Chain A
Amino acid sequence: MSEAEFEAYVQSGGQVEVGDSMPEDYRKALVKFIEMHGNSELMGVLPEREWILRAPTLQRKLALTSKVQDEVGHAQLIYRVVEDLGKPREACLDDLVAGKTKFHNVFHYPTKTWGDVGVIAWLVDAAAIISQKALLRCSYAPYARIMKKICWEESFHILHGRDVILTMMNGTDEQRELVQEALNRWWGPLMQFHGNPIPAEDDPMYRWRIKSQANEEARQQFLDGYVPQIWELGLTVPDPKLRKGKDGVWEYSEPDWEELKWVVTGHGPETERRLGFRQASREETAWVRRAVLPDAA
């Protein structure tokens, strides 16, 4: 079928499987999009895993280890989908550490306190889940299928995040301050997370039903769901313009789109260090992969 016929096919709900013929641009866009998701899960592990070692109770240690484990598992599911589309996992990892491919802005920032652990699990994961739920309707069926497992596992993370935050908010002044301070630092990246508003008709990802939710719609959904949760705990959002209009649409200060672009192109505060760390661990364990994976027939 022609590209126009393919577009009509996916827009009317048609599903694409791995062996189906598809326009080369569609396949490339899929690989890029899905690879970035895999990269994000893998890089998202790094800011969180430090806190596994510092978790202040046995229960928190278990829950946080489990959460990070899930994220590694998600990276596995996602890179398998990319590999079946033609790009092997090692090639993805090579490109990631070389800075040739991207990962989400939020994973380029430092985590400074246990307050960050709570805010990430509660709000950053929430922002991610909104996008992930929209991907359940992706036209590429193998990806839509893994999103089902991913969304199910993410639901546990949100509960954990909420629990961590509520415990701190019900605790001491110092603990409440940890949460507020972390929220102040994470608000900017959170507002940038869903990307700058692009009209759906201009977005090929949308036309091909790879994405089925516009960036601004996702952000509005996030604000609608989570700003009330933030305010009801007595926390403040560091944006004086933030309010819900009478028409139900949230107004807010324009996010710093230049910062977003700068960060995702590899200039975040932690980007270089984390990519370096990833590469170093890969190098240290390369002998294991060589020893354990049998030679090709």
Chain B
Amino acid sequence: MGTARGSSGRGVIWEIFRQEREGQPFQHGGSLEAPSLVFAEAYAREFYGRRDESFALWIVPRDAVKEVREPYVADVFDRDYRRVDGYSLKVKLKEARERAGTSEAR
């Protein structure tokens, strides 16, 4: 994610997540340098709220966020049971309808 400490090595970097409208997911807005959570909150309000553009904010110190790239190795063995296209019901449904006498000429 980049450096966890700010320019002089003394400030802390905070990640700001913002909810654009009520009920929406929180999305990453940006980062800022501040000496404490109190300062980070004051600045986050300014940067991500002064135009009334955020319904709510989450403020998180950068080193509390663990970034995971390419989260899952899922392409080595087939895991079609986890995908929609892993189920083909058409043929079985046709057979079941015929058995029950409920199939119509299509």
Residues of B within 8 A of A (CB): 1-3, 5-13, 29-33, 35-36, 39, 47, 51, 67, 69
Contacts and interface: CB of A to CB of B under 8 A. Distances in A.
Contacts of B35: 292-294
A23 B50 CA distance: 38
B7 A89 contact: yes
Contacts of A85: 2
Interface of A: 17-19, 73, 76-77, 80, 83-86, 88-91, 145-146, 149, 153, 289, 292-296
B69 A296 contact: no
Task: Provide the main secondary structure of the chain A interface.
Answer: helix
B7 A88 contact: yes
Please indicate which of the listed interface residues B2, B11, B39, B47 has the most CB atoms of chain A within 10 Å of its own CB: B2
A289 B8 contact: yes
A102 to B, nearest CB: 20
A76 B1 contact: no
A127 B61 CA distance: 37
A85 B3 CA distance: 8
Task: Provide the main secondary structure of the chain B interface.
Answer: loop
B10 A293 contact: yes
Contacts of A86: 3
Please indicate which of the listed interface residues A80, A145, A153 has the most CB atoms of chain B within 10 Å of its own CB: A80
Contact of B30 (A17, A77, A289, A296): A77
Contact of B6 (A17, A73, A88): A88
Contacts of B47: 73, 76
Given A80-B31, A146-B30, A149-B30, A295 B2 contact: no
| 9 interchain residue pairs of minimum CB distance | A84-B2, A89-B7, A293-B10, A88-B7, A296-B9, A90-B7, A293-B11, A18-B2, A292-B35
Nearest to A84: B2
Given A73-B47, A149-B30, A88 B67 contact: no
Nearest to B39: A292
Nearest to B47: A73
Contacts of A73: 47
Contacts of B39: 292
